Amino acid sequence: MGTVVERERKFSGDDGFRLPDLAGCGGVATVSDATALELDAVYWDTDDLRLLRSGHALRRRTGGHDAGWHLKVGAVGGARVEHQFPAGASDAGPPAELVALIRGASRGRPVAPAARIVNHRRERRLLDSGGRVLAEVAEDDVRSEDLVDGTTQSWHEVEVELIDGDEDLLDAVAARLSGAGAREVPVSKSHRAVAHRLARVDDRPPADAAGPVIGYAREQRDTIVANHAAAYQGDEDAVHDMRVAVRRLRATLRTFRGLWARRESEAARAELRWLGGELGAVRDHQVMAARLAAAMHELPDELVLGPVAARIGERFAADLAKAITALRAALDSDRYPELLTRLDRLLDGTAGEVDGRWTDRRIRRAVRRADERLDRALAGGGPAGDAALHEARKKYKAARYAVEVRQAAAGKPAARLVKRFKRLQDLLGTHQDSVVTREVLLRHALRAYAEGENTFTYGLLHARQAETAGHDLPAVLRARDRARRRRVRRWLTR
């Protein structure tokens, strides 16, 4: 299975639209002659179009240079990840490898043919003066059929996809096309093919005081789903983003738990904690391996005694492989789509009736709890104090997420407070990282000692991590004071 990142934009014009000359546009020197292609694609989805609603497109296409199964993840107009798999002689359904990547979006439900799109394409390449292909421009005469209710449509579309060009080129081509009368299309062909069925689904959050909370929670659920495919493959950024979304969602369900039936919201939080644990095991190994590699790089060669770097690399590689295998097993289990289905019932169902004052009180309470927890932590010391600082960090995360709910409405004041909380949270995180790193180094040193290896370098790294932790606390105090300034929080009491 191959994976590519696709950056493209789509445009539609009236019947009389003609493709303008794109030479001289954003570094384009010449435009190749058109190559004609006949493309025929069947798109698969659940009966309620969960894939399309989640920004996924799964198709089996014949014709063209990349015939086979394709899974696209991401919104049209941005960078989309495309997973490609060769088609078999008589495919009865998508290959298991792709089914695993849509398990979050489909909620584990079966997929079936949803739409067919037949496309007569005229494809041109945009080249620079050296003959390098900057982009491809495709003129498409499209005919679609909804394979559920038989609705048919036809339209003309222009698709611009970057190859070796950059976003400036894409902007320049878009401006040239717009000047010729084209209009940018924000949705995919498959979306247009079943648009009338999608229109029956109202995914907008309620327009009441609970709306911002519901909308924020749905964004986190959708982020989990959007990162599923890449996280399944162990991508560091996707694992991180998916884990943060789980944290945000857990915190939101707790901070604003009066909006939902207590038993259901707590059950969802418990399952999110399980998923976060599986993601955390992968992410923690990734972060710790990078942290120790950087620490080793800073040491002079004469202070590295024994195969320290090799041992650390080997052990983290083995542990990371185990964690990724466990994460895939979790995402392949029935428990994972059941969690997402539970979240759908919770977030898409009827929420409790509250007013704006109730929401603001909940936000203020989250902020107050974080302040109190940090004050208690700073009054302590030693290992117990380290644990308390870690708990304070988690409380500030919850407070930050609560403020983010109001950020769109409150504007700059809320954004400023989010930024101050982020700074404080990062400093507390650096302190916690030093604590965890010392624990890891101690384990590695004991193992090295048992195997008869020199442990000097482990001890040196341990001492440097302890020294770093000592330098963090004054910065924490300064960040705490900045986050508590009246002008930064005044808006919370209005």
494 pLDDT band, cuts 50/70/90, is: low
Which DSSP letter does residue 207 get?
S
Number of Cβ within a 10 Å radius of residue 484: 14
pLDDT value at residue 356: 83
Which residues, 6+ apart, have CB-to-CB distance to 181 below 8 Å? 13, 14, 17
pLDDT computed for residue 133 by the predictor: 96
Higher pLDDT, 231 or 354: 231
Mean pLDDT score, 173-194:
93
Q: What is the pLDDT of residue 469?
A: 73
Distance CA 357, CA 361 (A): 6
Task: State the average pLDDT for the chain.
Answer: 92
Count of all residues that appear for the chain in the document: 494
Q: Which of 1-10, 108-117, 232-241, 424-433 has the lowest mean pLDDT?
A: 1-10
Where residue 176 falls among pLDDT bands split at 50, 70, 90? very high
How confident is the model at residue 210, as a pLDDT? 87
pLDDT at 256 exceeding the cut of 90: yes
How far, CA to CA in Å, does 209 sit from each of 77, 206, 213? 32, 8, 8
CA separation for the pair 5, 10 (Å, rounded): 16
Confidence category of residue 89, pLDDT binned at 50, 70, 90: low
pLDDT at residue number 383: 66
Longest dimension (CA), the chain: 80
Question: Over 90: is that where the pLDDT of 112 sits?
Answer: yes
pLDDT of residue 456: 94
CA distance 11 to 185: 5
Helix (H, G, I), strand (E, B) or coil at 110: coil
**Which pLDDT value is given to residue 105?**
97
Closest CA to 253 of 228, 281, 276, 230: 276
CA angle 146–183–126, rounded 5-degree value = 100
Does 126 score more than 90 pLDDT? yes
3-state SS, residue 337: helix
pLDDT at 246 over 90: yes
Of 222, 240, 261, 255, the C-alpha closest to 406 is: 255
Query: In degrees to the nearest 10, what's the CA dihedral of 224, 228, 232, 235?
Result: -80
Contact indicator for 289, 313 with CB cutoff of 8 Å: yes
* Of the candidates 74, 106, 108, 95, the residue with the CA atom closest to the CA atom of residue 1: 95
Calpha distance 468→460 (Å, rounded): 13
Q: Which residue has the tokens 């495709």?
A: 138
Tell which wins on pLDDT, 276 or 207.
276
Share of the chain above pLDDT 70, in %: 98
**Interval 69-87: pLDDT, tens:** 999 998 777 788 999 998 8
Cβ contact 273:259 at 8 Å: no
Question: Residue 384's Cα: distance from chain center in Å?
Answer: 34
Cβ proximity of 73 and 81 under 8 Å: yes
Tell me the pTM: 0.91
Q: What is the pLDDT of residue 354?
A: 86
CA atoms of 341 and 268, how far apart (whole Å): 10
Pair of tokens at residue 451: 């195997």
Report the C-alpha gap between 172 and 464 in whole angstroms: 51
Query: For residue 91, what pLDDT band results from cuts at 50, 70 and 90?
Result: confident
The owner of tokens 């409405």 is 409
C-alpha span between 10 and 28 (Å, rounded): 19
Sign of CA dihedral 351, 252, 226, 278: negative
- For residue 148, give both structure tokens: 């559920």
- Mean pLDDT confidence for 168-181: 93
DSSP string, 350-392: PPPP--HHHHHHHHHHHHHHHHHHHHHHHH--HHHHHHHHHHH
* CA 348 – CA 120 distance, rounded (Å): 40
Asked if 224 and 230 count as a contact pair (C-beta separation under 8 A), the reply is no
The pLDDT confidence band at residue 5, using thresholds 50, 70 and 90, is confident
Mean of pLDDT values over 130-154: 95
Percent of residues, the chain, with pLDDT higher than 90: 73
Q: Are 179 and 151 a contacting pair, CB within 8 Å? A: no
pLDDT of residue 350: 77
Give residue 208's pLDDT.
81
Residue range 381-398, pLDDT digits in tens:
666 688 899 999 999 999
